[in-house]
Each structure stands twice: as structure tokens, then as C-alpha cells.
Structure 1
Amino acid sequence: MPAVTRLSPPDPIDALLSAHGLRRTGAARLVLGWLLAHPDTSYTHAQLQTALQDASAADGQGAGEGGGTLDRVTLYRLIDRLTQVGLLLCRVDVNRVRRYQSMPASVHALPHFECQSCHRDQPLEGALQGNALDLEVAAQNALQALKALGYQGLSLDLAVRGVCADCATAASIAPTPAVTP
């Protein structure tokens, strides 16, 4: 009786990369895997590079295909490609800093709050739970209307900007400097 060869299930990260027409390189798997493992965190390019280097150092492995580190330019190109195919969401904050995070396939609008003081980016899904369906319907309607006009490759980003509760509290507690005549 011949031996039965069991096929292991395909790696979900490899499947995502292939489905979006991207090469399944070690660097691409590393970057997408990291961002998928941290879905509620948005990273600047520098923060992502540091996080990946720290993770690779902790694992005792390099980030690149040959065991080397993932250089700055390669990371820029990778996150650009991942963003172009819709696997990453790129946001530009009020200081014109780009932040990246994984984009769930089922999400049409990802509401978030950007603090203009500490620059934290916080998801608002929990805070808007009661209105999440209304927001999703509005996002789908807007995207459908734009598609009908011929626009392609659409995504919608809802950003609320202001000062977060932590920064507002800290500002109200901070002593005011004395004014001398």
C-alpha cells in the first residue's frame, strides 16, 4: 500500500501575498506577518523597522532572506507595494507622517482618532460600536458612488483629530508658568 502524503495547509500570509500578486519573499512574509499580528497598532516607517529588528534580534534571526537585516529602502518598497494592493492602510497624520497598519479585508471604513499632542493613533471601533453599522453603510455607499463614476482601487479612511483625554488631563493638571511684568 503506497504511503499517503499529507499536504500541510497553505500559510495564510503566503496565500495573501499570492492572492494579491506579490512575491512570497522572507521580507514580505516578515512585514505582513508583523502587521497582521498587531492589527490595532499603526507604525511609522522607522517604528516598523525598529520593531522588526527588535523581533529578529529576540528570535536570533535576521529579517532578510539571507539572514541579514531588512534595510530601510527595502522596507519602504515593501510597505508601498502592500499598501498599493490593499493589504496595508496608510494614513498621513497632521504632521505629514505616514503610518501603516494591516487592513482587514472586511473593513470599508476604519475610524480612528489622531491625537495632535502625543500623536497616538487610536482605533474608534469600540467607542463607535452603536454607530458602527451606520458608518459601514455610509462607507459602502460612498465607495459605490465613486465606483459608478469610474474610480478604482478605492479605500476610505475616517480620521478624527483632536487632543486625547490623557493629554487633555495632563494639560489641565500642568502648572501654568508665572508671568513676570
Structure 2
Amino acid sequence: MASSIPPSDLTADPIDALLSAHGLRRTSAARLVLGWLLAHPDTSYTHAQLQMALLSDTESALDRVTLYRLIDRLTQVGLLLCRVDANRVRRYQAMPSSVHAIPHFECQSCHRDSPLAGALKTSANDLERAAQTALEALKALGYQGMSMDFAVRGVCADCATGTPGLAS
């Protein structure tokens, strides 16, 4: 897809450059959604949570169908990670290009989704190597467009101890 925007203008805005590099149109909606998720890299959002967050942060609202189609396209090209939790709820998060597996903990009581990168920092390199090895093996078999999800499910410390207010 040829762009009428000079290459020097694309590098001025990294979000536009990402969208173009992945073959997507640089619409205001695409810039808004990708920009929001990149600004909040450690948070995963449901469709409804993302719609509310965008609405509270800007005066322009995206209708739910437009947002759904946009996050679907962003996920298909690998800019977003889509996880399905234990309750079959889809959650979306920015997918850094250097990451092949994002470890996270899903609480089965409060349904909070917490990144585990900090807790697993001593094992993060081992996890990354294992994910890369698995993805390379699948690629050799002809699989394409892959990402890996590493989810641990259980009850978080706040819910286990009954600490009020922290789990909500």
C-alpha cells in the first residue's frame, strides 16, 4: 500500500509509523486506540473497559462496533495481544514487538488481571527463550501470525486474605 505521506512525516509520529508498517490506515480512531493502549502497556482491557477509558479521556466517543472492528484489526496484525480469561472474557493489551509471551495472573475471585513480569523477573529470560523456541518450532511447521499467552489462574493475595477494597 503506497502512502501519500512523505517518510519523514511518518517518523515524526511513532503511532502513524506503526500503523503504516502493519498495513493499516492511519485514522484518528486507530491512532486514539493504539496510542491509549501503548500509553498503558501493563493494563489489559475488555472491550467495554477500553470504550469507557477512551470516553473518559477524550471528548470524541467511538461506537462499540467501530472499536470492536479496530481492536480486531490491531490484534490480527500483532499490535495487540488478545487474551481470553477463565470466564471467556476477551482482554486486550498492547503487544510490544520484542515480547513473545506476556506472563500474567488472573484472579478467579475478583477477575483482576495482573502482569507477572516483575514477580518473575529472575525467570523472565527463561520464559522468553522457551516462548521463542516454541514459536520457531511452530513456524517451521508452517504456522503463521503467532503470539503466546502465559496465564496463571487462581486467587490473588487480596482475595485470599479478604483485604477489602484492594481487589475491586
TM-score, scaled relative to structure 2: 0.90
Instruction: Provide structure 2 residue ranges, at least 5 long, that are not aligned to the other structure.
Output: 1-7
| Aligned mates of 2:56, 2:108 — CA distance in 1 | 28
Q: Deviations over 1:137-160 (max 9, x none)?
A: 100110011011111111111000
Secondary structure at 1:22's aligned position in 2?
A: coil
AA paired with 2:149? D
List aligned pairs for 1:1-181, cutoff 5 A.
Answer: 9-57=11-59, 62=60, 69-170=61-162
Aligned residue type for 2:124: A
Residue 5 of structure 2 is matched in structure 1 by none
- Supply the AA of the counterpart residue of 1:137: R
What SS is found at the alignment partner of 2:72?
helix
Structure 1 unaligned segments of length 5 or more: list them.
1-6, 63-68, 174-181
Please list the CA deviations of residues 111-154 of structure 1 after superposition, one character each: whole Å capped at 9, or x if unmatched. Answer: 00000001111000011111111101100110011011111111
Larger Rg: 1
- Partners of 2:129 and 2:53 lie apart in 1 by 35
Aligned length: 156
Inter-partner Cα distance in structure 2 for 1:121 and 1:166: 13
TM-fit CA distance, 1:10: 2.0
* Separation in 2, partners of 1:129, 1:52: 31
Deviation at 1:54, TM superposition (A): 0.5
Quick one: distance in 2 between partners of 1:99 and 1:89? 8
Percent sequence identity over aligned pairs: 79
Counterpart amino acid of residue 153 in structure 2: R
Q: Give the match's secondary structure for 2:83.
A: strand
Q: How far 1:42 moved relative to its partner?
A: 0.5
Letter in 2 for 1:136: E
Corresponding residue SS for 1:90: strand
User: Over aligned residues, Cα RMSD in angstroms?
Assistant: 1.3
Return the letter of the residue paired with 2:132.
Q
Q: Write the distance in 1 (CA, Å) between the matches of 2:101 and 2:62.
A: 31
